[in-house]
Structure 1
Amino acid sequence: MAETAGPGEWARYWQYAELPDLDLLRARYVRHAFPRHSHEGYVLGTISHGVEDVGLPGGTVHAGPGTVVMINPEVPHTARAGVPEGWVYATLYPSAQVINDIAADTTSLRGTVGFTETGVVDLYAARLIGEVHRAAEEGNALAADSLLRVMVTRLLTRHGGALPTPGPRAAGARDAARARAVLESRMAGPPTLEALATELGTSPFALLRAFKKQYGMPPHTWLTDARVRRARRMLDAGTAPAVAAAEVGFTDQPHLNRHFTRIVGVPPGAYQRERARTYKTGPEPPE
């Protein structure tokens, strides 16, 4: 287990080599709170003890034991303890490819699929999420893959649908997309909001409003999230945390550590050690 900073908290964020498009997190958090962020893939999690409050665009999901939380790609959200004792949970982060391949194989859903509910009580699906973790930790690739497919199929069948296809973009949405492209290309030295708005031919307030409407968070919050995402990819490739911090625009490694831990749930060093150990030696043996 990788220890987090808070007393009584622990977390392990890792990847099973036999299922490379799936990240896994098991953790207990008490004081830790996830700031607004989003994921490139899906989030499927379940709570075994305590309560997690998940803040989503449509409101807050109070997730207790037996609840399955389903979050689609790029949906901004927060998470924090809903009770003083915090929460214990197991979460799976399958890529878009994994979910859409399973949907094409086992359901009638087509196109880019997603989940129409964000929090449902489903004891069987919750148990399956835990069993995927257990199988991966025991090095049982056949079971982990099979259980994952059964669980995803169940959730898609009961709560799945095709995600809406984006229509023509309004001027504000186009400006937001252009601003995002600029921030991605100049991550280590981004412009001020005023300079960015001037470059795009709009006003700072109009750009701020359009960006938040399009991506669910203001540009500076989105940029921090994007920096952490890029740092994760660099850590996966073996880049040292201090080098990754400088490359993505954090002032130093402690700056990366703080934001990475808040968003991912574990420090970058612990994250990288788990990835390296998983890829080089396979999963840990059963206890």
Structure 2
Amino acid sequence: MTDSARWTRVDDGRFQVDLLTADYRRHAFTRHSHSTFAIGVVVCGAEQFHYRGALHRAGVGSLAILEPGEPHDGQAADPSGWAYRVFYPPADLLFEGFAAPAHFADAVVHDPHTVHLIRSAHEALTSGTDTFAAHSKLTWALASVVRRHGSHAPSGMPALPAQDAAAGRKVTEIRDRLMADLRSAPNLRELADGVELSPFHMLRVFRAATGFPPHAWLVLERVCRARHLLAAGHTPAEVAGAVGFADQAHLTRWFKRVTGVTPAAFRNSVQDPVRTVA
């Protein structure tokens, strides 16, 4: 059997959420992170992934919860591969109706009740048959994830040490400099000089804060921007140059490694978002 994957974008007028329906045998995701949460259930086989310094295995019925900005990869845990359904909700949608955001300590949990809600909502949204009911299911499913598996950080957390705060500001400056023009990245020396660090120190500080060296972080940002442009109707050829890839083949190679599908397949999947009635 061959790999297959399909993205769906749902828009309720306030939030957009992407959904992935995939069945993989040989595909392996490169190490990457998301700007949103990733909440998925395995429906066949088993997946394994590195996350927060450990190797995790998610089999049938498992609920995986990955937080934004956390580097991870993903591949089959055995030759039979795995199939799963994944939501990528922004934090504002996931925590809508809650007093404060929550933290998810466990990457993989076993919770048949929430797994059922997530899978049911995903199937309802991707089928597009009753969007009002599907949106209601999504609301219940995400609320169950937060209520049953989220924990709130204690109040009165100590402030970061001065050196950590200073490093955080430098990382923000580096990110802003890279994002200023995705098509033209500065060289390493220019980037380091801009924050008054040596190249080695700059690399170390940036990687400690983001989980990636600047060049890898920039590639992932280019893929993220490409997703938005493709969803807006731009062609892969147009997008490749607009976000800084050398050519369409370069975009396709990285896009598939991060999203599991080609740019053209993603564009075709999300051109007509499923609109729900809230």
Q: TM-score, structure 2 length as denominator?
A: 0.90
Instruction: Report how far residue 142 of structure 1 moved.
Output: 2.5
1:212-259 per-position Cα deviation (integer Å, ceiling 9, x unaligned): 110011111111110001111111222221111101110001111111
Letter in 2 for 1:48: V
Change in Cα spacing, 1:244 to 1:117, as seen in structure 2 (3 Å) is same
CA contact (8 A) 1:51 1:86 kept: yes
Q: TM-score, structure 1 length as denominator?
A: 0.87
> Paired residue for 1:225?
220
**Counterpart-to-counterpart distance in 1, 2:254 and 2:94:** 28
1:80-133 per-position Cα deviation (integer Å, ceiling 9, x unaligned): 11111111001011111111214x2xxxxx333332321101122222222112
Letter in 1 for 2:197: T
> Paired residue for 2:33?
38
SS at match of 2:182: coil
> Paired residue for 2:189?
194
**Counterpart-to-counterpart distance in 2, 1:46 and 1:54:** 14
For the pair 1:118 / 2:113, whether they are aligned, the reply is: no
Corresponding residue to 1:151 among 141, 151, 154: 141
CA contact (8 A) 2:167 2:205 kept: yes
> Paired residue for 1:274?
269
CA contact (8 A) 2:121 2:141 kept: no
SS at match of 1:63: strand
SS at match of 2:271: helix
Letter in 2 for 1:228: V
Q: Structure 1: which 4+ aligned runs deviate by more than 6 Å?
A: none
After TM superposition, the structure 1 stretch with the greater mean CA deviation from structure 2, 7-16 or 79-88, is 7-16
**Counterpart-to-counterpart distance in 2, 1:263 and 1:72:** 16
For the pair 1:131 / 2:131, whether they are aligned, the reply is: no
Corresponding residue to 2:180 among 166, 177, 185: 185
> Paired residue for 1:263?
258
**Counterpart-to-counterpart distance in 1, 2:135 and 2:60:** 24
Corresponding residue to 1:161 among 151, 156, 175: 151
> Paired residue for 2:75?
80
**Counterpart-to-counterpart distance in 2, 1:91 and 1:166:** 35
Letter in 1 for 2:181: R
CA contact (8 A) 2:95 2:146 kept: no
**Counterpart-to-counterpart distance in 1, 2:266 and 2:106:** 30
Instruction: Report how far residue 29 of structure 1 moved.
Output: 1.1
- In structure 1, stretches of 5+ residues that fail to align are 1-6, 105-109
**Counterpart-to-counterpart distance in 1, 2:243 and 2:119:** 34
1:33-80 per-position Cα deviation (integer Å, ceiling 9, x unaligned): 111211111111011111111211241210001110001122121111
Change in Cα spacing, 1:218 to 1:123, as seen in structure 2 (3 Å) is same
Instruction: Report how far residue 199 of structure 1 moved.
Output: 2.4
CA contact (8 A) 1:36 1:217 kept: no
> Paired residue for 1:48?
43
User: Percent of aligned positions with the same letter in both sequences?
Assistant: 35
For the pair 1:173 / 2:168, whether they are aligned, the reply is: yes
CA contact (8 A) 2:118 2:142 kept: no
> Paired residue for 1:3?
none
- In structure 2, stretches of 5+ residues that fail to align are none
Change in Cα spacing, 1:76 to 1:237, as seen in structure 2 (3 Å) is same
SS at match of 2:129: coil
CA RMSD of aligned residues (A): 2.1
SS at match of 1:83: coil
Letter in 1 for 2:194: E
SS at match of 1:115: coil
Paired residues, number: 269
CA contact (8 A) 2:122 2:138 kept: no
> Paired residue for 2:4?
10
CA contact (8 A) 2:24 2:76 kept: yes
1:133-176 per-position Cα deviation (integer Å, ceiling 9, x unaligned): 22111422232222222222222122112368894443333222
**Counterpart-to-counterpart distance in 1, 2:69 and 2:134:** 26
Letter in 1 for 2:143: T
**Counterpart-to-counterpart distance in 1, 2:83 and 2:245:** 30
